[in-house]
Structure 1
Amino acid sequence: MKRIVEFMKRNYKVIIVITALSAVLWSFIPSEKKSDPEKDKLLLELLTMVLERGHYSPVAIDDAFSKKVYAKYLDNIDPTKRFFLQSDIEEFSKYETKIDDMIKNKDLTFFNLTNSRLLQRMQECRAIYDDVLDNPFDFNTNENINVDYEKLPYAKNKKELVDRWRKQLKLQALSSITDKQKLEDDKKEKDAKYAVKSFETIEKEVRESSLKSLNEYFDFIQKELTRNDWFSIYLNAIVERFDPHTFYFSPEDKEKFDMSMSGTFEGIGARLQKKNDAVEISELISGGPAWKGKELEAGDLILKVGQGKEEPIDVAGMRLDDVVKKIKGPKGTEVRLTVKKVDGTIKVISIIRAEVETEETFAKSSVVEKDGKRFGVIYLPKFYISFENKENRDAYKDVAIEIERLKAQNIDGIVMDLRDNGGGSLETVVKMVGLFIPEGPVVQVKAPGREPEILPDPDKKVQYDGPLVVMINNFSASASEIFAAAIQDYKRGIVVGSKHSYGKGTVQNVIDLNQFIRGNSYGDLGALKTTIQKFYRINGGSTQREGVLSDIIFPDRFTYLDMGERDEESALPWDKIAPAKYEPLNMNYDGIIANSKKRIASNNYFNLIDENAKWIFERKDENTFSLNLNQFKKEMALSDAKIKKFKAISDYNNKLKFNSLPNEIALFEKDSLLKQKRERWHEDLQKDLYIEETLNVIAEIRASQNGKGLPKKLSIN
């Protein structure tokens, strides 16, 4: 069993289950190669058996399960109800309570029916939108559109479906037209001689733009998505009923997932995108082989791909994923790209593949001065690690290095910015907490039917013992919640941010499905990410659904909305276990927290953010819009007045100066792109009201500690 997503120290029960499954499934596999439907049947059987025997809390695959899969799957493939007709749904409905039986019998009838009908309806809809956009819209009629698609019924017939498309496209056109008219007015205001475009011209441009976008979207659907892609959607409607974090990865998705976890891949270091039937270079990754070679440029079109001395292959019209596969490859090998340059010339560029690091994935730090004190900010987007090669980047090692670099700058405190950090490796976060505490338990992990296992700080060394504040938001999840919870439970620092973090208190393992099949003749079967354990704070509480509650709550846009795990229908419940034996630091932050709350309450910008959050909450159920131009403009004018008021939030500037560390500054001369990225990050920090108040908090911690670090020993019972 392959350990990828979250560190699993020991889980004998799951290993025994997997071994047993292997023996069972080998007997089902014939030696000859089978067609895709046979592979699909195998995947159905394999996934359900692994889930029923290996998931933390398996659910019964019965009629109730079937109904939920049915609803989820249809919502996934037709979320805005613009493809299927009511007659289709009536035909599908006879399978609503039979999907459980069809899973057990490896019956693909429901999938085959819905998939073929979907592709048929999509093809029919191309003619619908093409016809709708061929004529000017009438914006003088009084009609409305309801965009609450969840409650919207399916179109009764073709006429009603055409009308639905017409209204949806008309709403999009209204929004685009009013925006374009504002731009025209702005140009006229700046230049009195500017000839403003007529309404008719703008309206025609908008329809042409919509047609182009829709054609590109449907071309992508037809040319890029295969039956395997659609079947993956069906499989995930099934496996996600177990919990929101159980997920099937197709071979391509598994490769992307591995890359996102490690932050590295082997290739040329270029991002690609589709441009009509061609593949365009959209960006060169700083430090990669293509970037170093200085021949390939953003905007170049790839015409052919050749491996070493082999004859190059024409990639015109090829799926983007297939082109990517041909360009990526083992480090040290050669790929030759025939490209059409921006100036129209054709050029063959030879590139030697190498290991590429996606720099934006990794930890980065900055120094800022405030009121005569210097503070370090470490931004960590995820708890990354490479399981394939321990020499690759590791968030724990990188943060330790950043701490040493910041200490060399004589900083007075560190801010760990974990906002939007979706998690990553459990092993990594346990070690990272250890950078800030001498010793002790960090998190508890529990498998079903077993006693909790306590994962401790692996060493007594303290990398940094000064003032610490952890920033979180609604999208800080999993490993970032473990970090924040441990710092909070030990009273090692203060947690600031959204009312609560995401609330993902479960541990996943990625299981390579190929290991179960002896003599596999079906090709790569992909992998299953499934929940095998839950983790708990050292105080015994779960972060599942509830998340980590901030010591100091910063108002944000989502304050009054239900965000995160608690909003997931299939999320596992909150619970608690006995606390681990640990002793918090003798730190009292009550006065600092109270002072921050007073500053927040009296801050006009924070009050404006709170007002904006209330407005967003009040508008969340507004789903009906007028399609009359004048009425639509009146409605938008009311919204614009509010938006204009709230624009002051985005215009905020804390006037603080953030600086890169000397090691990065030394790289800027050779790497202008890295310099631009850091300047952009610093500009964002200058517009960040939250970072300013966080610095106020850490300055008070520093003052209260009088420059002293942690106690030399942390008492553990």
Structure 2
Amino acid sequence: MPKTSFPRRTSLFAAILLAAPLALLGANTPVPPTGAPAGNAPADQALIDKAKVSTLPNAPTTDQVTAAKLVYGLLSDSRYAYRPRPLDDALSADMYERYLESLDGSKQFFTAQDVAKFDAYKLKLDDAIKAGRLDPAYAIFSTYRQRVEDRVAFARKLLKQDIFAFEGEDRFDYDREDAAWATDRAALDALWTQSVRNDWLRLKLAGKQPDEIRKTLDKRYATLARGISELKGEDVFQAFVNAYANAIDPHTDYFTPRSADNFNLSMSLSLEGIGAVLQRQDDVVAIREIVPGGPASNSGKVKPGDRVVAVGQGESGQMEDVIGWRIDDVVAKIRGAKGTKVRLDVVPAEAGLDSKPVRVTLVRDKVRLEDQAAKSKVITIPAGASGASEQRIGVIELPGFYQDFEGRRLNKGDYASATRDVAKLLEELRAKNVDGVVLDLRNNGGGSLNEAIELTGLFIDRGPVVQVRESGGRVSVEGDQDPGVKWEGPLAVLINRGSASASEIFAGAIQDYGRGLVIGETSFGKGTVQNLYDLDRWPSAEKARFGQVKFTIAQFFRVNGGSTQHKGVVPDIAFPASVDASEFGESTYENALPWTRIASVPHARYGDFASLVPKLDALHDTRIAQDKEFQWWTEDVAEFRKQNAEKSVSLNEDERRAERDRDEAKRKQRQAERRELGLALDPLGDDNLDDGLQANERDLREDVAREKAAEDRPDPLLRESAAILADAIRLLRNDQRLSAEVLPGADQPGRWAH
């Protein structure tokens, strides 16, 4: 049972309604990029309105009854769960609120009258889980589906009315998380009228004409209804059981067999398939990206923008029309074992959807997801005015603590491992004679606990890394047992509020050992460990039937005895906070474990940066006062937080246009200043202006190119982190007394020797 540590995931229905419809063939659906695509949409409105309406069962399947009982048995047993809660009326009421939130968290579909009727189930959901009955879940969901259809019909009808004059002081309240339920249909009508008007205004400000706006929004709302109509019984079951799981703690989740496969594949960074990222556009699934080195790439027969309209298995299996299918159903047809064949009927990107498709046969293979693996580069810090020499700082970007659990269990030599990848990159950076290394863990949400421990071992010579307290109170100490280090030189760790869990274990250990500087923002604050338990382990089964549960089994503590729970890892050198702790992080979960501490354990202390940090802070403050990119980032963070606090937006066209003009002028001014100062230009230019479009409404190929360009945008935080590390190296090399105070013990591997 692999131990993992992740922040809470987006609820099922929130993901369906809000996320870009992407899927990797053979892997987990990736995190949607900023913005989202669309491309070649079918021109026939009948196709847009077409939906594969799923028929919800009147009773759960036998497997679902068993799965619900197994989840209850697991989460209510103190031998397994770290903090079990009795499944009683109090927990039932909590489940009830969470299930409603998973369906209608923004309170834009249900009325107070609907919720009053649902209240009859409020204290009965505990009995439903114990008995495996899904009647309440389906009854509530059935109403939800009808309300979505009603709201969409209302929105589409509004598009034919004359309500799009944008004067006066009207505002659209888009943040309704804490709002009361709408009293009745009339109240919802008023809310949706403002929402539709805001959608129209955004497109108008982006230069769209009325006919184009009307067509875009009509398609958008029809797509919303279709997405809900396609949900199946297993989706409702997963959401319902997750209302129970999330009530236990924020990081406990239930996965159906299919979603469990996706989760495991996302951890392994490898898959068996054709190596392509799919994206749904209206009623068709298109290829968004091709994974280099995979079968699709090697064939040269498919490209981004192509649409898959039919799939067949092997040399002669029947071709199945997949137009109108859910993206995960299409992925399931294309995914398959290494060495097997799959045939695709593909309509080229440049052709109309009614064009004759091209048949492509591909042999599935194992594909490594290199774009999600660790990467490195070198930043050069120029010589200073004081005569300081130029320094080369290596950077390793680690997006997650991934590990192919199955590959490791089978002792496969090429299994994916964050630690193994970082070790190779360190060797490469050493060969390039870098002066120091920055490990970038920004937005690294965690992953394998073992990887966090082993990665720490690349920088320390044996010793404890983390303390783990289990449900019975027993505390074990886990650490690095391998002698030697892969990098003994200067080290910094860059974190932000999105750095969570395994990232916090690593950053905390580096800080406790005095092995390196921690730079950035206070981290997420997740101090718990989860196990992924396969429910098919209990009843003997030939195939996956019951799914898996990721549940909290322990709490971890730093070697100094402190917990990262709620408080996170506090950096030595702090950057301005990009988000408030009340908006994002462990502290936002009302049922998260409280902060506590235990006894420390003996560990080496390679350095003490207390006397060095004030000097670094002073140099940092002086430098950023002259650093335009850093100043602009600080300004943008302040503006984002200001806008985020408002929770509403004006519907006055003149006011909104003035805001847009200011944003455009600001971007142009910054580009001009970059040219004047000789700075790298922002590759996105003015592309950051709001175009009013949603996930599947942009040209797919252009959006992919835009996403790639965004990777080359100036990163003042990373560059400043490298400069801070360069400052530390220079100060310690030039001041023997300071060096002896900060890094005592010249023979220790943490001496920053080089």
Give the residue type in structure 1 aligned to 2:565. Q
Q: Please give the residue correspondences for 1:354-369 in structure 2 after superposition, counting only pairs within 5 Å.
A: 354-369=365-380
Matched, 1:395 2:401: no
Give the Cα separation in 2 of the matches to 1:530 and 1:623. Answer: 33
Q: How does 1:663-702 map to 2 (within 5 A)?
A: 680=709, 683-684=712-713, 687-702=714-729
Alignment partner of 2:568 out of 547, 551, 571: 547
Q: Which of 433-442 and 130-139 deviates more? A: 130-139
Match of 1:170 among 192, 197, 221: 197
1:541-595 per-residue CA deviation (whole Å, 9 max, x = no partner) reads: 0111111000000114325754311111121111111101112114435334433
Q: Which residue of structure 2 lines up, in the alignment, with residue 437 of structure 1? A: 460
Q: Distance in 2 between matches of 1:451 and 1:650?
A: 58
For 2:491, the aligned partner's letter is: L
Aligned equivalents of 2:279, 2:708: Cα separation in 1:
26
Match of 2:214 among 203, 207, 210: 207
The CA deviation at 1:635 is: 5.6
The answer to whether the aligner puts 1:51 opposite 2:75 as a matched pair is: yes
Q: 2:238 aligns with which of 210, 232, 245?
A: 232
Whole-angstrom distance in 2 between the partners of 1:173 and 1:634 = 15
Match of 2:603 among 574, 582, 587: 582
Aligned residue number for residue 482 of structure 1: 505
Q: CA separation in 2, counterparts of 1:253 and 1:448?
A: 27
- Contact kept, 8 Å, 2:65 with 2:132, in 1: the verdict is yes
Question: Could you list the per-position Cα deviations for residues 47-86 of structure 1 after superposition, in whole angstroms to 9, with x for gaps in the alignment?
Answer: 1210111210112333332222222211210123222232
- 1:147-296 equivalence runs, <5 A: 147-180=174-207, 202-223=209-230, 225-296=231-302
Structure 1 residue aligned with 2:445, among 382, 399, 422?
Answer: 422
Post-superposition Cα deviations, 1:641-693, rounded to whole Å, max 9, x if no partner, equal: 47965887899869789xxxxxxxxxxxxxxxxxx999858723xx1111222
Q: Give 1:459 deviation, angstroms.
A: 0.8
2:587 to 547, 566, 571: 566
C-alpha spacing 1:649/1:222, structure 2 compared with 1 (3 Å): farther
Flag the 1:103–1:305 CA change in 2: closer, same or farther, 3 A: closer
Deviates further, 304-313 or 285-294: 304-313
Corresponding residue to 1:97 among 85, 99, 123: 123
**SS of equivalent residue, structure 1 residue 337:** strand
In the alignment, which residue of structure 2 is the partner of 1:313? 319
Q: 1:283 to 1:406 in 2, by over 3 A?
A: same
Question: Would the alpha carbon gap of residues 647 and 378 (structure 1) be closer, same or farther in structure 2, given more than 3 Å must change?
Answer: farther
Secondary structure in 2 aligned to 1:131? Answer: helix
> Among residues 431, 434, 456, which one is paired with 1:411 in the alignment?
434
Contact 1:249 1:528 (C-alpha < 8 Å) held by counterparts: yes
In structure 1, the gaps of 5 or more residues are: 8-33, 182-201, 658-675
Query: Secondary structure at 2:453's aligned position in 1?
Result: helix
Deviation (angstroms), 1:416 = 0.5
Question: Counterpart in 2 of 1:5?
Answer: 4
Contact (CA 8 Å) 2:445, 2:502: kept in 1 or not?
Answer: yes
Q: Which moved more, 1:139-148 or 1:310-319?
A: 139-148
Cα distance, 1:611 vs structure 2: 5.0
Q: Do the aligned partners of residues 649 and 454 (structure 1) sit closer, same or farther apart at CA in structure 2, a change above 3 Å counting?
A: farther
Q: Counterpart of 1:87 in structure 2: which amino acid?
A: Q
User: In structure 2, how many angstroms separate the alpha carbons of the residues matched to 1:462 and 1:678?
Assistant: 37
Alpha-carbon distance in structure 2 between the residues aligned to 1:106 and 1:678: 45
Query: Residue in 1 aligned with 2:397?
Result: 379
Deviation at 1:519, TM superposition (A): 5.3
Does the Cα contact within 8 Å between 2:525 and 2:564 map onto a contact in 1?
yes
Query: In the alignment, which residue of structure 1 is the partner of 2:362?
Result: 351
Q: 3-state DSSP class of the match of 1:484?
A: helix
CA displacement at 1:460 relative to structure 2: 1.3
Q: For residue 500 of structure 2, what is the amino acid of its counterpart?
A: A
Tell me how far 1:275 sits from its aligned partner.
Answer: 2.9
Whole-Å separation in 1 of the counterparts to 2:610 and 2:291: 43
Q: Distance in 1 between matches of 2:615 and 2:635?
A: 22
Checking the alignment, whether the CA contact within 8 Å between 1:612 and 1:646 is kept in structure 2 is: no
**Aligned partners of 2:281, 2:708: CA distance in 1, in Å?**
30
Where 2:447 maps in the other structure, the secondary structure is coil
User: What is the distance in 2 between the residues matched to 1:294 and 1:578?
Assistant: 59
Pick closer, same or farther for the CA change 1:119–1:652 going to 2, 3 Å.
farther
Aligned residue for 2:11? none
Please give the alpha-carbon distance, in whole angstroms, between the structure 2 residues aligned to 1:266 and 1:636.
49
Distance 1:547 1:327 in 2: 41
Decide whether the 8 Å contact of 1:552 with 1:593 is kept in 2: no
- Using a 3 Å threshold, how does the CA distance of structure 1 residues 520 and 67 change in structure 2: closer, same or farther? farther
Distance 1:677 1:407 in 2: 33
Q: Deviations over 1:207-266 (max 9, x none)?
A: 22111112122222223x212112211211111011111011112211111111011100
Distance in 2, Cα, partners of 1:399 & 1:378:
7
Amino acid at match of 1:445: V
Structure 2 Cα separation of the partners of residues 151 and 703 of structure 1: 51
| Residue 46 of structure 1: how far off its partner (Å) | 1.4
Q: Match of 2:28?
A: none
Q: Which residue in 1 is equivalent to 2:523?
A: 501
- The CA distance in 2 between the partners of 1:638 and 1:60, in whole Å, is 52
Partner of 2:330 in structure 1?
323
- Secondary structure of the residue aligned to 1:230 is helix
CA distance in 2, matches of 1:162, 1:268: 46
CA positional deviation for 1:527: 0.5
- String of CA shifts for 1:515-536, please: whole Å, max 9, x gaps: 1223589x62110000001111
Higher RCO (CA < 8 A, seq sep 6+): 2
Once the two structures are superposed, the pairs formed by residues 621-700 of structure 1 within 5 Å of their partners are 621-627=645-651, 629=652, 632-634=653-655, 637=658, 641=662, 680=709, 683-684=712-713, 687-700=714-727
Matched residue type, 2:85: V
Distance apart, 1:271 and its partner CA: 1.4
Q: 1:552 to 1:420 in 2, by over 3 A?
A: same
Does 1:703 pair with 2:730?
Answer: yes
Instruction: Give unpaired runs (5+ residues) of structure 2.
Output: 7-57, 383-389, 409-413, 681-704
Equivalenced residues, count: 645
Question: 1:394 is aligned with what amino acid?
Answer: S
Paired with 2:210 and 2:711, the residues of 1 have a C-alpha distance of: 40
SS at match of 1:335: strand
Aligned counterpart, 1:189 = none
CA distance in 2, matches of 1:212, 1:677: 24
Match of 1:16 in 2: none
Distance in 1 (alpha carbons) for counterparts of 2:507 and 2:249: 24
Question: What amino acid sits opposite 2:63 in the alignment?
Answer: K
Q: Name the SS of the counterpart of 1:706 in structure 2.
A: helix
User: Does the Cα contact within 8 Å between 1:145 and 1:625 map onto a contact in 2?
Assistant: yes
Change (3 A) 1:61 1:174: same
Aligned to 2:43: none
Establish whether residue 517 from structure 1 lines up as the match of residue 517 from structure 2: no
Match of 2:156 in 1: 130
**Quick check: 2:399–2:442 contact (8 Å CA) kept in 1?**
yes
Contact 2:375 2:425 in 1 (8 A): yes
